[in-house]
Structure 1
Amino acid sequence: MNPLKTWLLLAGMTALFGVIGLMLGGPTGMLIALGLAIAMNMFAYWNSGKMVLRMYHAQPIDPNRATGVLRGYYDDVADLSRRAGLPMPAVYIIDNPQPNAFATGRNPQNAAVAATTGLLQALDRSEIRGVMAHELAHVKNRDTLTMTITATLAGAISSLANFAMFFGGSRDNGGGGSNVFVVILMSILAPIAAMVVQMAISRTREYEADRLGGEISGDPESLARALRKIEAYARGVPNHAAERNPASAHMFIINPLNGRHMDNLFSTHPATENRVKALIELGVTLRRGGGSDTTSVPTT
């Protein structure tokens, strides 16, 4: 998904926020809601990365003190960043038994990548490199900012719709029972619409990050193996921090909420087997010396 389409979707969500404000408080409510949406976008732009890292109690890795697996993890991120033509991101570790990872930050110059202790324990080094190449692909594509802002607005739309459900329709426009019906309808449809937009963006970007990550590492099969392992662990090892903050689930390489295997309307991630298939096809293409344009992205 190109940046223009992404920002059009974000603009659409902002407009939806304004419509709910209109239903809740008339023209005044719409202006207030639009103002809040803009303010939240600005706040998310400057603070989203720090907020997510703090949410998961991520700790920075000091390369001068890191040893063993942690040192290898840091060095691999540095090597992959050079291969991707990116500035060195901040590297974090999260004390969590579920293997998983995410990237955050408003741009490549202010990016951070984070892996769980479970990831470093469950995967071999080539698989860890594949995962981190995927996360750096998100940084290179500037996905982290877009997804954080989308999640922020989606949550805000749901909250505002719930507020409308309790406090009724616009006082400026009147309308009695019919207006109450519209408010109830909006309170149901608005959070669904926000969720659909958020998740559609997320699924598309995961496929693209897999493809670019496979190219950065030069070993897409290792990422494919990592995805299978992470999903298997995620089914049996709960991520309690993610359960408390489900709006951040889309940021992880595999859904930390033990989601279903199908690409359904409300899934934040594509089906893992679809991603694995695309990566294996990419590996074949790279070994033949072909370009990435021949690698198809599943749509189901």
Structure 2
Amino acid sequence: MKRIFLFVATNVAILLVLSVTLRLLGVDRILNEQGTGLDLTSLLIFSAVVGFTGSLISLAMSKFIAKRSMNVQVIEQPRNAEEAWLVETVRKQAQAAGIGMPEVGVFDAPEMNAFATGANRNNALVAVSTGLLRGMSKSEAEAVLAHEVSHVANGDMVTLTLIQGVVNTFVVFLSRVIGYTVDRVVFKTERGHGPAFLITTLIAQVVLGILASMIVMWFSRYREFRADAGGAQLAGRNNMIGALERLRNAHSAPLPDSMQAFGISTDKAPGALSRLFMTHPPLEERIAALRQAA
């Protein structure tokens, strides 16, 4: 539940900071000059600016943040046979997937994990943990790399950002419509904004933010099945299944909260509520999907 709280709190905090900033700049003219009703067009524009700004900034900085937060060492020039194999494997997979060559990096962590991120499919980063290199066979590691390259080829980072921006827009828009309605209908405020508008808007934004997070997490889980299928095409279905089985039996910790959506696996035994906020489906379901497709 701590991760759920942090995810929702961070998203709501970004929306609130942007809302206050634009309010101070006089951008949020959501009441018309006569104060007789909502200017829905202006409100929608305001909501879109607030909703997409944070998501687009996060996308643009995704590689930089990933490198810093995970201390990724990008392989500029391979120093040994293992690094040369990593770079060459990603190069072949990127060519097969029809994307530009991603940066390839390694981060120091005992857990077996990997992630891909970047602003577009021709300017991405694929990184693996030292634990994965030590704990997996070459064929299994190749499948994990193929899974991450498939994420890049599918444009998952951009799509996830756009979905987050859309749901943020509706959260901002609907929360202010609800706040305005309560303020006018229940508390009979005739002009401007009363205290009820700000309080109701804040509460509605939190509640709608939680519901919106479920939508974003649903897509995040869906894209994992697609990346598994892409990994199976690039590296072989049995290798992809073998890699997921290795992860299932590893009992390793997931990536830090800020990077979990980008990793190849996350918590293994979710509760009913936690499942709604999972970035990844359970490994058992992913393995079953690959076997069923075969």
Aligned match of 1:200? 218
Aligned match of 1:130? 143
Aligned match of 1:115? 128
Query: CA RMSD, aligned part only?
Result: 3.9
1:71-86 correspondence runs (5 A): 71-86=84-99
Shift of 1:154: 7.5
> Is structure 2 residue 36 aligned with structure 1 residue 36?
no
Instruction: Tell me, yes or no, if the aligned pair for 1:61 and 1:92 is still in contact at 8 Å.
Output: yes
TM (norm. structure 2) is 0.70
Aligned match of 1:27? 30
In structure 1, stretches of 5+ residues that fail to align are 1-12, 286-300
Aligned match of 2:263? 252
155 and 126 in structure 1: CA distance in 2 versus 1, 3 angstrom threshold: farther
Larger Cα-atom Rg = 2
Aligned match of 2:107? 94
Deviations 1:65-122 (A, max 9, x none): 3313222222211222222232211101111111111111122211111111111111
Q: Which among 282, 289, 292 is matched to residue 271 of structure 1?
A: 282
Q: Distance in 1 between matches of 2:199 and 2:122?
A: 48
Shift of 1:273: 1.2
Q: Distance in 1 between matches of 2:271 and 2:285?
A: 10
Deviations 1:162-198 (A, max 9, x none): xx9xxxx669955549757744651442221221111
Aligned match of 1:216? 234
Instruction: Tell me, yes or no, if the aligned pair for 1:26 and 1:170 is still in contact at 8 Å.
Output: no
Instruction: Tell me, yes or no, if the aligned pair for 1:261 and 1:271 is still in contact at 8 Å.
Output: no
Q: Distance in 2 between matches of 1:229 and 1:279?
A: 15
Quick check: 147-156 or 53-62, which moved more?
147-156
> Is structure 2 residue 71 aligned with structure 1 residue 57?
yes
One-letter identity of the residue aligned with 1:57: N
Q: Distance in 1 between matches of 2:72 and 2:228?
A: 24
Instruction: Tell me, yes or no, if the aligned pair for 1:101 and 1:252 is still in contact at 8 Å.
Output: yes
Instruction: Tell me, yes or no, if the aligned pair for 1:238 and 1:258 is still in contact at 8 Å.
Output: no
> Is structure 2 residue 239 aligned with structure 1 residue 229?
no
Please give the secondary structure, in 2, of the residue aligned with 1:253.
Answer: coil
Q: Distance in 2 between matches of 1:272 and 1:74?
A: 27
Aligned length: 251
1:146-185 correspondence runs (5 A): 146-148=159-161, 150=163, 173=183, 175-176=186-187, 182-183=200-201, 185=203
Please give the secondary structure, in 1, of the residue aligned with 2:119.
Answer: coil
One-letter identity of the residue aligned with 2:289: A
One-letter identity of the residue aligned with 2:217: M
Q: Distance in 2 between matches of 1:281 and 1:118?
A: 29
Shift of 1:129: 0.6
Please give the secondary structure, in 2, of the residue aligned with 1:50.
Answer: helix
Q: Distance in 2 between matches of 1:26 and 1:128?
A: 54
One-letter identity of the residue aligned with 2:262: M
Q: Distance in 2 between matches of 1:51 and 1:120?
A: 23
Name the % identity. 25
Shift of 1:199: 0.8
151 and 98 in structure 1: CA distance in 2 versus 1, 3 angstrom threshold: farther
Please give the secondary structure, in 2, of the residue aligned with 1:112.
Answer: strand
TM (norm. structure 1) is 0.69
Shift of 1:27: 1.5
150 and 196 in structure 1: CA distance in 2 versus 1, 3 angstrom threshold: same
